[in-house]
Structure 1
Amino acid sequence: MTARSALRRYTLVCFLTWLPVGLMMPTMVLLMTERGLGLAQIGLVLTVFSTVTVALELPTGGLSDVVGRRVMLAVSAGFLVAALALVSVSTTFWMFLAGGVLKGVARALSSGPAASWYVDTLHRAEGRDADLKPGLSRGAAMESVSLCLGVLAGGALPLVVPPELFFPLAAPSLAGAAAAAVLLVVVLLALPEPPHARRSLGGVLREVPGTVVAGVRLAAGGRVLRRLMLAAACSGVLLVSIELLTPGRMAQLTGTAEQGGTAYAVVAALGFAGSAAGSALAPRAARLAGGSPGGAIAGLVVAAFSVGALAATAGLGGTAGLLTAGTAYVTLFAGLSVTGLLCLEMTHNAITAAERTTVTSTSSLSLQAGGIVANLTLGTLAAHAGTAAAWGLTAVVVLSSALLFVRMPVTGSSRAQDPAVRAGSG
C-alpha cells in the first residue's frame, strides 16, 4: 500500500471514529439531567466511564499489538453501537451507568490502533525515518472536523425531532449509534493488515501481559515518555473541566436545556474548528519554535491563558458570555491540539512497532487518570467556590505542565529535523 492510500484510509477512520462522540456530546449531560439524575450521579457516570477506560487501556493496547489494529477498531465500534443505543433509551441511573461502562470499553479499545496502523504502514512504505507529522496532523485535523460537524448536528437534532415521535435530547445518541455502525463496516473493509501468525486464543492472551509490562517499563523508564505521560494527565484535567462545567453554564445563559444544548454545540464546534486549525498548524509551530518540544510549550501557554479567560469571564451573562466562551474555546483547543499532535509524534518516534499501541494506550490512560482526578475534584470545587475557581485552578495546572517540555530530549525523525541537531551534525 502506498503512503498516500494509507493516509486517505487513516483520515477516513479518524473522521468516523469521532463522529459518534461529537453527535452525543452536546446533549449527554443534559439528557441525564432531564431524566432525573443529579449532578453527583452524572459525575459518577462520567467517573465510571473514565475508570473503565483506564482499567482496560493497557490490556487492550497490548492485545492490539498482538492480534492487530483492525480487529481492535472493529470490536470498539461494536461496543460503541451498543453503548449509544442503550443511552438513547436509558431512563434510570443504572442504565446510564451501564452505558458508561460500554462506552469506556469502546474508548479503551479504540485508543491508539488507528494511529499505530498508519505509522506502521507508513514505515513499511517509506522507512523508519519517514516524517510522521504531516500524516498525523491531517488525521488529528480530520478528528476535529468530525467533532465540529458532529456537535453541530447533535445540538440541532433536539430542535427538529418531534417530541411525540422520540425524546428530543436522546436523538443525538441514536444518531451516534448509527454512525458507529458505519465505522464498523469501514474498518473491516478499508484497513488491510499484514496477516498475523496463526495462534490459539490462549497463546495470544498469554502474550498480552508481557507486552503490557514491557510497554509500561518503557513509558516509565524513558525520560521522554515519562514527561509525555505527565503532560497527558494535565491535558485530561483541562478537557474534563471543559466538558463537565460548560453544558450547565450554557443552559444557564440560554434559559432551557434544549437551547443550552444547542448553544453548547455551537461553542464546542468553534472549539473543534480551532482544534482542526491547531492540528494543521502544528508542524509549522514546531519549526518556528525550534522543534517539537518548543511547539508543545507554545500550545500549552495558549491553552492555559484561554481557560484562564474562561475563569475571568465566568460572571458574564447573555450574549457577552456566549461570545467570550466561543472565543476562548477556539484558542484553547487550537493550543491544546498543537501540543497533542507534537506529543503524539514524539511518542511514536520514541518507540518501535512492537509496543506502539501499548505505549500510546499508556498515554491515553494518563489522560483518563487526569480526567478522573478532575471529575472528583473540580465539580465539588465549582459547587462550593464557583465555576471561575475551578477553571482558574485548571489554568494553573496546564501552565505548569509546560515545564515538562523544557530541555526535552529529541528522538527519531524529530531529531533529524531539529535545527540545533542539524547544525551540530554539519
Structure 2
Amino acid sequence: MDEPVADEPGGSLAGTPRPGMREYGRYAAIEFLTWLPTGLMLAPMVLLMSARGLDIAEVGMVGAAYSVTIVVLELPTGGLADVLGRRPVLAASAVVSVAGLVMMALAHSVWPFLVASVLKGVARALSSGPAQAWYVDSLHARYGPAADLKPGLAAGNVAGAAALAVGTLAGGLLPLAVRRDPLAAPVWAGAGAALVLLVAVLVLMREPVRARRGPGRAAARLAEVVRDVPVTIVAGIRLGLADRVLGRLLLLAAGAGVMLNGIEMLTPGRLGALTGEAETGGAAYAFVTFAGFAANALGSSLAPPVARLLRGSVRAAASATVVTAAAVAALAASTALRGAAGIVATAAIYVLLFTALAVASLLRSELLHQRVAADRRATVMSVDSLQLQFGGTLSSLCLVPLSGVAGVGPVWALTAVVVLASALLYVRLPVGPAPRHPQ
C-alpha cells in the first residue's frame, strides 16, 4: 500500500503529479452509479403507476411518501456515516434501493407502490453525503489537509448530472424496445444499476483508518445523533425566526419544492396524453427532461454574469425567480396545444424554466451562506433541505390531486402564482452577514 505523500520526508503536495486522481476517479464512478438508478426510473415512474390503475391522487400520495421519508430520515442518516463508516452506509443504501425498485417493478396497487416509495426514500436519505465524505477523508489521509478537493468534487457533480441525463434518456427509450411490460423495464434496469453500485462500493470504497470506536461508544454516538434531530430542527426554526432575512431565504426553498414536484409529477402524464401511448410519452419525457438537465448546467454557469449585469445577487435572484414563474405559466398555457407542437413547446419551456431556476438557486445559496456563521451552517443547510422536501410533500398532497379535478393547466397556473409570490421575498432583502443571533 502506498504511503501518504504528506507523510514522506521532504514530500509536498505540489511535487506530486496530479494528486488525488485515483481517489476522485473512484468518487466520480460511485457518484455516477449512485444517481443512475434514479435517472433510469424517472421517465416511466408516473406512467407506470397510472398504467397499473393508480389515479392522480394516489400517485400524489406515493410521491408524498417519498418526500416525507426523506424529511424524517435526512438528519439521523447523516450521522450514521460518521458512526458506522461511509462504505457500510452507502452499501446499505444500494441494498435498500434494489429492494425498493424491485417492489416498484412488481407493484400493481397503491400499497406496494407506497412501500416502494418509502424504501426509495430511505435509500436516498442513506446516500446523501457518505460518498463525498469518503472522498474528502481519503484525500486528506493520503495527501494531508492541504489537498485540493475541487477537481474531485467537480468530477463528482459532473458524473451525477451525467448519470441523471443518460439514465433518463435510456429509461425513456427502453420501453420502446421491450414488448413485455415495457414501462417496468427501466425500473428493472435501475435495480440492476443499484446492484452494480453495491459491488462498486464494496470494491472501490476502501476507507482510511480512523480512530476506532467500540460498540458501546458507537451506540452512544448513534443515540446522540438521533437525539440531536429535533434539537437541530428547532435550532434552525429559531434561527429563521430570529433572522427574518434568513427565514425568507429558507421559505424560498419550500416554494421551489412545490414547483419542482408539481412539474415532475404532472409532465409525464401530460406528454403521455400528447403522444397517445404511455411508452412514447415516456420517451418524450426523457428528451424533455434531458433538455432540462442541460439547461440547469447552463443556468449555473450564467449566474455570476447575470448577477454582475443586474448589479447584485438579490436583484438577479429575484429576476430569475420571476422568469421561472413566467415559464411555469407558459407551461400551463401550453396545455392548449396538441401533438408535436405541445411536446416541442414543453421542451422549449423546460429549457427556459430550468435555466432561470438554476440562476435563482445558485444565487440564493450564496445569499444563504453569506447570512450564516460557520458554526450554524450545517444546521441551516439541513433545514434548507427539509424545506425543499416539505414543499414537495405539500405539492404531492394538494396540487397533484387537484389536477385530477381541475386539470393540469390550472394547477400549473396556480403553481406559477406560488413561484411569483415567492419572488416578493427578495423585496428589500438586505445582503451580507447577519447581526449576532440570540442563543
**TM-score range normalised by the length of the shorter chain:** 0.7 to 0.9
Give the aligned CA root-mean-square deviation in angstroms. 3.5
- Sequence identity, in percent? 48
User: Who is 1:170 aligned against?
Assistant: 184
User: Who is 1:85 aligned against?
Assistant: 102
Q: 1:80 corresponds to which letter in structure 2?
A: S
**CA distance in 1 between partners of 2:144 and 2:255 (Å):** 34
Aligned positions of 1:159-308 closer than 5 A? 159-163=176-180, 167-188=181-202, 189-190=204-205, 192=207, 195-200=210-215, 201-220=218-237, 221=239, 223=243, 226-286=247-307, 288=309, 293-308=314-329
- After TM superposition, the score normalised by the length of structure 2 is 0.80
Q: Give the structure with higher Rg (CA).
A: 2
User: In the alignment, is residue 146 of structure 1 matched against residue 163 of structure 2?
Assistant: yes
Cα deviation digits, residues 174-199 of structure 1 (max 9, x gap): 11112222233334424745625414
- SS at the partner of 2:251? helix
Is the deviation greater in 147-156 or in 272-281? 272-281
- After TM superposition, the score normalised by the length of structure 1 is 0.82
C-alpha distance 309-212 of structure 1, shift in aligned 2 (>3 A): same
User: Who is 2:360 aligned against?
Assistant: 339
User: Who is 2:91 aligned against?
Assistant: 74
Cα deviation digits, residues 203-224 of structure 1 (max 9, x gap): 1222203543453345331546
Q: 1:182 corresponds to which letter in structure 2?
A: V
User: Who is 2:7 aligned against?
Assistant: none
Cα deviation digits, residues 22-56 of structure 1 (max 9, x gap): 11011111112222222222222222222222221
**CA distance in 2 between partners of 1:294 and 1:127 (Å):** 37
Q: Which of 120, 139, 158 is 1:103 aligned to?
A: 120
Cα deviation digits, residues 332-391 of structure 1 (max 9, x gap): 1222233334455666674658974x6544322211110111112212332333322211
**CA distance in 1 between partners of 2:309 and 2:134 (Å):** 29
**CA distance in 1 between partners of 2:127 and 2:337 (Å):** 39
User: Who is 2:437 aligned against?
Assistant: none
| Maintained 8 Å contact 1:219/1:226 | no
| Maintained 8 Å contact 1:138/1:280 | no
| Maintained 8 Å contact 1:138/1:279 | no
**CA distance in 2 between partners of 1:93 and 1:313 (Å):** 30
**CA distance in 2 between partners of 1:319 and 1:217 (Å):** 50
- SS at the partner of 2:335? coil
- SS at the partner of 1:195? coil
Structure 2: unaligned runs, 5 residues or longer: 5-18, 435-439
C-alpha distance 283-116 of structure 1, shift in aligned 2 (>3 A): farther
Q: How much has 1:69 moved relative to structure 2? A: 4.5
Structure 1: unaligned runs, 5 residues or longer: 413-426
Q: How much has 1:299 moved relative to structure 2? A: 3.7
Q: 1:156 corresponds to which letter in structure 2?
A: L
Q: 1:235 corresponds to which letter in structure 2?
A: A
User: In the alignment, is residue 379 of structure 1 matched against residue 400 of structure 2?
Assistant: yes
C-alpha distance 379-180 of structure 1, shift in aligned 2 (>3 A): same
**CA distance in 1 between partners of 2:223 and 2:43 (Å):** 41
**CA distance in 2 between partners of 1:291 and 1:142 (Å):** 31
User: In the alignment, is residue 15 of structure 1 matched against residue 28 of structure 2?
Assistant: no
Cα deviation digits, residues 230-255 of structure 1 (max 9, x gap): 22211111111111211111111111
| Maintained 8 Å contact 1:61/1:109 | yes
| Maintained 8 Å contact 1:46/1:100 | yes
**CA distance in 1 between partners of 2:78 and 2:29 (Å):** 21
| Maintained 8 Å contact 1:141/1:280 | no
- SS at the partner of 1:314? helix
**CA distance in 2 between partners of 1:155 and 1:256 (Å):** 13
Q: Which of 419, 431, 437 is 1:398 aligned to?
A: 419
